[in-house]
Structure 1
Amino acid sequence: MAIYLAHTAPKHGGHPQPLNDHLRTVRDLAAQFAKPLGYEDEAGLAGLLHDCGKYGDRFQQRLQGKMAHVDHWTLGAYWAFTVRALAASLAIQGHHVGLQQFSSPFFQSLRDLIENQGRSAAGFVMAGDATDTLTRFIEDGFAINAPTRPVINSYPDSRKAIEFMLTIRFIYSCLVDADFLDTEAHFNQTPDGHKTFRERPPNLNPARALELVKQHVTRLTEISTASPAIQKLRNAVWSAALTASERPGNLWTMTAPTGSGKTLAMLAFALNHAQQFRKRRVIVALPYLNIIEQTAMVYRAVLAEMGVNYVVEHHSLAERNADDQEGSGRLASDNWDAPIVVTTTVQLFESLFANRPGKARKLHNLVDSVIVLDEIQTLPLPVVVPTVAALAALGKVYHATVVLGTATQPAFGCLQPALESITQAQYDPQEIVPTLPPLPVRVHWELRDEPQSWEAMAVELRDYPSFLAIVNLKRHALELAEALGEEDDDSFFHLSTNMCSLHRSHVLDQIRKRLKDGLRTHVVSTQCVEAGVDVDFPVVYRAWGPLDSLVQAAGRCNREGGLPYPGRVVIFQPQDDAYPTGPYQQATQIAKALWREDVFHLDEPEAMRLYWERVYGTTRPHETYSELLEAIQVWDFAGVGERYRLIPETTLQVVVPYAEAFDLYESLVLEARQRGLTRGWSRRAQPLSIGLFRPSPDSSLWSYLEPVLSDQGQESGWWIFRDRAYYSARYGLRVPNQWSLWYS
């Protein structure tokens, strides 16, 4: 009997992979992944049928280099459809090209392609004759059996669209991760032909991990310089987290002031909750890369005893080349198979709404997990309704526990009428810290309405031994810095996202050391210093902005409560009344209005609730950003994947020549020119990268940028800035005004 192949032999030696081996392994892995939700029959069927088109003659010729653009997936999708395994059908059809819309025209298109043996819309030709291919599939010992518990047994309700789409993505995730893993094992085979699967990670063992975290917190308490009142607050938050973790519940909030120890308390909650309710892993999602690196470093140090693969750090930038059609590039995406994952909210949320295999493969590992989301107030308005709907539904669909932590908790509950258009899940969280001890007065607030020039601000600021001034725009930071005239002073520092993350980390290390040593420290920064950045100044000036930003800025003032008097927080109005693009200015005006109405009491939780209710009531995100919701309501996976973006697609990722890491920069440039974009390259490039909005076609910027091409020779979204003269040790990328890049 003829042997049909799934993959060619690896370049380093070994054997081609028989198709029947690949189908059996993917079937078994997919079924194993789906077992926690009881969908192993349909996931296994998806694994068995996903590559059955490879029995076709045209695909076998493709492996010999005699054919191109061969569709080996539609036949399996059609056969799954014939036994009413509709979720498997969608997953199979999308395991290379992405999930499409659940609709009658979609399933009719499968029938048409098979019956007419035509080309797909993307120009792919069918892999072979349907009858011959089915015969070979059966001769290899396989059969097509309808699942005993189909995922879809009735036409979906748009009011359950989030639950429906999460369930389909779960089956899709089980399939594509199983496919990735077996393909990876084949291409990593030993020279004598044995597949090599990646080493399995250790188990969570939450009881021991929690004990290590407790020991760490005890050591921190012993050496802490925080005031007794701040330490009492931290103890209260820690105790509340451990107490709440003993209770059942899928949706929680942790609302506690900046500096109250939320980060470690939420980890303790997650580990103890996992122990009590048999959760498999902890996923911690944070909005900014510098916080992720800091958090992951702490977790690894505290939990070093648990092994080197116990804590996995995963950035969104690591996945840009994961969706290519064949070969080792398909293996580029992590699947979060680790006890503790520290990642970005971008990575988590865009995966929840993804239709592409590289992003979606990790979703089955969210099942039976504790998902901790810190700084949740950073969730952008365009995606707030679908994201909150998904977070509310994760408990029901994936048996996950979700924790939303922040000092400035959004009033997501007022979005419930909008949520009900796409989910039946209720946003009704339990609060982990329902009461707090009387809070010490750490700061005194001064709010100003009269516009001030940068020169006037500079005169006022120079008199302070140490201060932090936070503004809304990069050009504002530059203008205030120039007005201060301290560029050549060792005590002056600037921070913005025009500096790569490695540069900002180095500067923050210097700032923290000077503050600790009691040295004069003047800092001008954009908002990048607010959420999650551990600095402690006696004086903070903040340009008027959204209320949550003002409160986060105040969290950098007298953070440890160590001053003999309250710190000083001044909210001022720049003469240049300009703001970042989007709803930022509208939120700022709402904060000002509340202050003028005398309901603006920053130290009271009620102020934050009123603020968020007014923000959501004024901006009406479900109406303003309705296209995404409409795509969800008609189960359009491709449309949702295209529209759901936390970061605008107009952003260029640019590697910059930071002098302190110039050897790394040069090696990245050489590798990019020789090999193009790879997963390893993007990981190493991330600390030297900044985000810039795509300039106009006639901008002078383009002459300084070199594209990093994918292995397909296409633009990847990554670029290299080639001129060292424009990257300043003080300001980062500082370019001529006519380039108009000082956007935030």
Structure 2
Amino acid sequence: MTLLRDDAHLYCTFIAHVRQSDGAEQPLYDHLTGTAAIAKALAAKIGLPLSGELIGLVHDLGKYSTAFQEYLKKSVAYDKYQHLDEDEEAGLLLDSKPKRGSVDHSTAGAIYLNEQFKKLSSSYIQAHSQQKIRRYEGQLLADMLFICVASHHSGLINIVGQNTQPYLSERKNKPEEKTHYTQALEHAQQEQLFAQLGGSFKKDTLKEFQSIVKKIMTDSRATDKQKDFYLGFLTRLLFSCLIDADRSNSIAFEHPNQAHLLDCKRADWQIAIDKVETLYQGFADKAEQSPPNPINEQRNHIAQTCLHAAQSDQGIFTLTVPTGGGKTLASLRFAVQHAKRHNLERIVYIIPFTSIIEQNATEVRKILEEEGSDGIFDGQWVLEQHSNLEPEVQTWQSKLIMDNWNAPIVFTTMVQFLESCFGGGTKGVRRLHQLSRAVLIFDEIQTLPMNCYYLFCSALNFLTTHASATAVLCTATQPVLDNLPIAHNGSLNPATEIIGERAQLHNLFDTLQRVDIHDHTEKPQDLDGLTNYASDNFAKFSSTLVIVNTKVWASQLYQKLSETVPEDELYHLSTSQCARHRKDLLDQIRHRLKQGLPTLVISTQLIEAGVDVSFRSVVRFLAGLDSIAQAAGRCNRHGEMRDDQGASVKGQVFIICPESENLNKLPTIAQGKAIMSNILSQWAHNTYGDVHLLHPDIMQQFFHHYYQTEHGIKEMAYPIKDSRGKSTGTETLYNWLSSNSTNPLTNNNNTQRHQAEQFPQLWQSFMDAGRTFKAIDAPTKAIIVPYLEKGRHLISALCNTSVNDSHFYQLVRDAQQYSINVFAHTFDALFTVGALHTVRDTGIFILSEAFYDAQMGLNLEGTSELDLLAF
């Protein structure tokens, strides 16, 4: 094909990309073979290296067509000459810029793979009872490869759509004039694209695939519905390998000075082990020189147990430790030892809230990273992903700043984890393959959204059984995920409790019991009553934390208390403040608590999960038992409280109830609150015997009650809802991603579907599910706020730095600490009044200074005053 060069000479080759900065051209052959090499290495982690190599090799096969090369020529010419005057442009005969995606270059490669494996599988049939299984394994592989290649710009396509269209079969039969398959294949063969594929390559590819499918189909712990889900998840993992390989090769060409960021460097886990063990040896030496401390003794026991458990086989583990038990460091000890034991590639910490990522990541970074040491990512072991501060428009710039979790230790959020597993498009799924051959540490697992229970359990079962991952579910309030109510959906595979048998667990909780809990919910109170209650508690204990369920209550209570409590003693915490703002406030709070200065904090529940603060008293609005236990973990956290004679005393936790609060958008809290009212009533009548309210047995009963509620049963499989948030019936996202049993095109009779003639097979509505899935019920958008001089400087630098500058990548990462996530209606309100501005075409938004308050954070009124509008 011919493309326009600067010197207007013609030349003959096929081009994949033309670099924007200098007009350099990437040969299509180089892009395809380079992508294939990366995809092969990535797919080897899930046992499908040859499949990975094939989809990488043909994913852009359609670019060999004349139509695509002409499209590329016109696009490049338009970009280069669009600023010429009319006469000059007319001389070049330039029309408007071709529409992105107007030439299909994805389907040709998909058709090629489908044709190859249909022929191979039909000749591979042998006359015995398993012949139809073999045939469908060949067709199953052909379908998986087809979907991966056909979807690499759109996100995974549907096998069948919820509009009852047989989408996959229609895509396979797309006409030649739109796919240009024949011509593209001829040109590819002229360039000898398939020269490296030997005679047995396709049979070897099918053979390695059959090994994986056999393991899935003979998994005795999985239900038929889960096996359907597993086949779909395997497809998504293979797709992830292609997306990352394609993006990485393209970015390395477009931004050669950034290519080193894409290099996959393996960690030397022994270096990490040595540093962690040095830390624990220091703890031991210090303990020998200090009086006995039951809290520290138990923390040491937990850490030692984690050390021994790390030598176990891979699988699912639970680490059930009371708050303040040192599980962050103990889980790190387990993870680095286990990673070395099984030669794993990375450790991923999945944390519920962005507010505690920096705290935990900083703790790990201090242990592992030293200036000028080790040479792993220039000494950087830890990657933090704080928020959704990623552009929505897929440009070269957005691809550059999009992390793919390429680091030995990654800290990310549960939202990002779930989006990678189930979200639509190609942005999140690119990271998914990084969850294979990894240790996955889920911190505060009880915060997992209930509508994702079955999705999460099935994904984790697959990753730990079929993708060489190990999972650790950490919490003081362990949900009962291995015994969910709908049997055919399947629960979490049995997990090994690291702490040991139930008696050992009970002993641990009894030893680490550091608080007394008081039920004061018998008389709900209004704002004045609750203000007086908090004031009286503060006067008595001098350090008090009040945790409420909504930002409205946090704002109202803070403002009311500010009328009588000195400004330097009163603090407000909520997600209306950026992470850096909350960190600064928490630093001030910790300093005051350490100095014994009066401190009263009003906070939403963001402070409950993992935030290292310790008050003498905690007041908690009524919620579920898991929330109350987490709140209690912020009281006398280290067992440091003493009376005048130096004897240990307990912290005091009080449960109260407001007269009214709007929990319509917080059904999980509302349901937990209702169940907790009944538990408190039984506890008051000594129904549970002489045990602490936070005893593991009561906690287990709380979750069992919760799961059996109408709300719980309906929610767990992710019910499909309309625009008003109302359920559309019995259909669920879990069904769309597994058997799709209610879709007329997939045959309602599951028994017949799962006979050898039709099983295994793909049935998923991938694209419909991806468009529907949101990790949180009300999706949010990230905006950068002008918090203090640093925030204003970052905003200025982002606006003034070229997006092609290597510094831009670091600026975006730094700005994540200065961003907040707002709901769509809040975003629209801010945009309407001109409070938001975008950074060029990146999709990144910044907030005007008048709309951010130094005390409360986001101020919708644009006055930067204390009276924050409730929302």
Q: What TM-score does the superposition give when structure 1 sets the normalisation length?
A: 0.89
Q: Cα deviations across residues 79-115 of structure 1 (Å, max 9, x unaligned)?
A: 1111233222111111111111234933322333233
Residue 848 of structure 2: aligned partner: 722
Q: Cα deviations across residues 65-85 of structure 1 (Å, max 9, x unaligned)?
A: 254422111111111111233
Residue 689 of structure 1: aligned partner: 819
Name the SS of the counterpart of 1:83 in structure 2. Answer: helix
Distance 1:384 1:611, change over 3 A: same
Residue 572 of structure 1: aligned partner: 656
User: Is the 8 Å Cα contact of residues 652 and 719 (structure 1) preserved in structure 2?
Assistant: no
Residue 282 of structure 2: aligned partner: 219
Cα offset for 1:294?
Answer: 1.5
Q: Cα deviations across residues 207-243 of structure 1 (Å, max 9, x unaligned)?
A: 3312211212333566689970101110111111111
Cα offset for 1:586?
Answer: 1.1
AA in 2 matched with 1:200: D
Cα offset for 1:11?
Answer: 1.0
The farther-off stretch of 731-740 and 195-204 is 731-740
Distance 1:226 1:174, change over 3 A: farther
The farther-off stretch of 213-222 and 490-499 is 213-222
Alpha-carbon distance in structure 2 between the residues aligned to 1:737 and 1:501: 20
AA in 1 matched with 2:733: L
Residue 499 of structure 2: aligned partner: 433
**Which of 613, 617, 627 does residue 549 from structure 1 map onto?**
627
**Which of 155, 160, 164 does residue 227 from structure 2 map onto?**
160
AA in 1 matched with 2:594: K
Alpha-carbon distance in structure 2 between the residues aligned to 1:593 and 1:568: 22
- The unaligned stretches of length 5 or more in structure 1 are 119-125
Q: Cα deviations across residues 429-458 of structure 1 (Å, max 9, x unaligned)?
A: 000012244514411111112112223324
1:365-444 paired onto structure 2 within 5 Å: 365-415=434-484, 417-418=486-487, 420-421=488-489, 426-434=492-500, 435=504, 436-437=507-508, 438-444=510-516
Cα offset for 1:475?
Answer: 1.9
AA in 2 matched with 1:617: Q
Alpha-carbon distance in structure 2 between the residues aligned to 1:561 and 1:198: 44
Distance 1:740 1:74, change over 3 A: farther
Cα offset for 1:329?
Answer: 3.6
Distance 1:689 1:329, change over 3 A: closer
Cα offset for 1:284?
Answer: 1.2
Residue 107 of structure 1: aligned partner: 168
The farther-off stretch of 428-437 and 728-737 is 728-737
- The unaligned stretches of length 5 or more in structure 2 are 1-10, 76-97, 118-141, 218-223, 643-648, 720-730, 741-763
AA in 1 matched with 2:145: A
1:591-630 paired onto structure 2 within 5 Å: 591-598=676-683, 601-618=692-709, 619-620=712-713, 621-622=715-716, 625=719, 626-630=731-735
Alpha-carbon distance in structure 1 between the residues aligned to 2:247 and 2:45: 20
Residue 475 of structure 1: aligned partner: 552
Cα offset for 1:573?
Answer: 1.1
Residue 350 of structure 2: aligned partner: 285
Alpha-carbon distance in structure 1 between the residues aligned to 2:829 and 2:341: 58
1:85-164 paired onto structure 2 within 5 Å: 85-103=142-160, 105-115=166-176, 117-118=177-178, 126=179, 129-143=180-194, 146=202, 148-150=204-206, 151=209, 158-164=225-231
Alpha-carbon distance in structure 1 between the residues aligned to 2:544 and 2:397: 51
Alpha-carbon distance in structure 1 between the residues aligned to 2:251 and 2:291: 50
The farther-off stretch of 40-49 and 472-481 is 472-481
User: Is the 8 Å Cα contact of residues 675 and 711 (structure 1) preserved in structure 2?
Assistant: no
Cα offset for 1:498?
Answer: 1.2
AA in 1 matched with 2:676: A
Alpha-carbon distance in structure 2 between the residues aligned to 1:297 and 1:521: 25
1:191-206 paired onto structure 2 within 5 Å: 198=261, 200-206=263-269
Residue 108 of structure 2: aligned partner: 75
The farther-off stretch of 21-30 and 203-212 is 203-212
Alpha-carbon distance in structure 2 between the residues aligned to 1:710 and 1:602: 54
Distance 1:700 1:445, change over 3 A: same
Alpha-carbon distance in structure 1 between the residues aligned to 2:650 and 2:320: 22
Residue 176 of structure 1: aligned partner: 243
AA in 1 matched with 2:463: L
User: Is the 8 Å Cα contact of residues 320 and 679 (structure 1) preserved in structure 2?
Assistant: no
Structure 1 or 2, whichever has the larger Rg, is 2
Name the SS of the counterpart of 2:544 in structure 1. Answer: strand
Q: Cα deviations across residues 161-185 of structure 1 (Å, max 9, x unaligned)?
A: 3311221112112211111121122
1:448-487 paired onto structure 2 within 5 Å: 448-449=520-521, 450-452=523-525, 453-463=529-539, 464-484=541-561, 485-486=563-564
Alpha-carbon distance in structure 1 between the residues aligned to 2:253 and 2:799: 30
**Which of 387, 390, 395 does residue 320 from structure 1 map onto?**
390
Alpha-carbon distance in structure 2 between the residues aligned to 1:644 and 1:227: 51
Whether 1:530 and 2:603 are equivalent positions in the alignment is no
Cα offset for 1:203?
Answer: 2.5
Alpha-carbon distance in structure 2 between the residues aligned to 1:142 and 1:23: 8
Name the SS of the counterpart of 1:575 in structure 2. Answer: coil
Cα offset for 1:393?
Answer: 2.1
Residue 262 of structure 1: aligned partner: 327
Distance 1:270 1:697, change over 3 A: closer
Q: Cα deviations across residues 504-562 of structure 1 (Å, max 9, x unaligned)?
A: 10000001011111111111111111111000111111111111111000001001101
Alpha-carbon distance in structure 2 between the residues aligned to 1:102 and 1:232: 56
**Which of 641, 645, 649 does residue 770 from structure 2 map onto?**
641
Cα offset for 1:399?
Answer: 1.2
Alpha-carbon distance in structure 1 between the residues aligned to 2:466 and 2:366: 34
The farther-off stretch of 692-701 and 293-302 is 692-701
Name the SS of the counterpart of 2:13 in structure 1. Answer: coil
Cα offset for 1:480?
Answer: 1.9
AA in 1 matched with 2:381: V
Q: Cα deviations across residues 677-722 of structure 1 (Å, max 9, x unaligned)?
A: x86564343222222223289958731432537738xxx4x54332
User: Is the 8 Å Cα contact of residues 322 and 330 (structure 1) preserved in structure 2?
Assistant: no
**Which of 858, 861, 867 does residue 733 from structure 1 map onto?**
858
Name the SS of the counterpart of 2:568 in structure 1. Answer: coil
The farther-off stretch of 469-478 and 506-515 is 469-478
Whether 1:2 and 2:12 are equivalent positions in the alignment is yes
The RMSD of aligned alpha carbons is: 3.2
Alpha-carbon distance in structure 1 between the residues aligned to 2:264 and 2:803: 34
User: Is the 8 Å Cα contact of residues 438 and 470 (structure 2) preserved in structure 1?
Assistant: yes
**Which of 577, 581, 584 does residue 666 from structure 2 map onto?**
581
User: Is the 8 Å Cα contact of residues 477 and 525 (structure 1) preserved in structure 2?
Assistant: yes
Residue 338 of structure 1: aligned partner: 407
Cα offset for 1:372?
Answer: 0.8
Name the SS of the counterpart of 1:519 in structure 2. Answer: coil
Name the SS of the counterpart of 1:59 in structure 2. Answer: helix
Residue 123 of structure 1: aligned partner: none
User: Is the 8 Å Cα contact of residues 162 and 393 (structure 1) preserved in structure 2?
Assistant: no
Distance 1:734 1:6, change over 3 A: closer
User: Is the 8 Å Cα contact of residues 692 and 741 (structure 1) preserved in structure 2?
Assistant: no
Cα offset for 1:384?
Answer: 1.6
User: Is the 8 Å Cα contact of residues 91 and 99 (structure 1) preserved in structure 2?
Assistant: yes
Alpha-carbon distance in structure 1 between the residues aligned to 2:301 and 2:569: 37
Alpha-carbon distance in structure 2 between the residues aligned to 1:75 and 1:520: 70
Alpha-carbon distance in structure 2 between the residues aligned to 1:720 and 1:331: 20
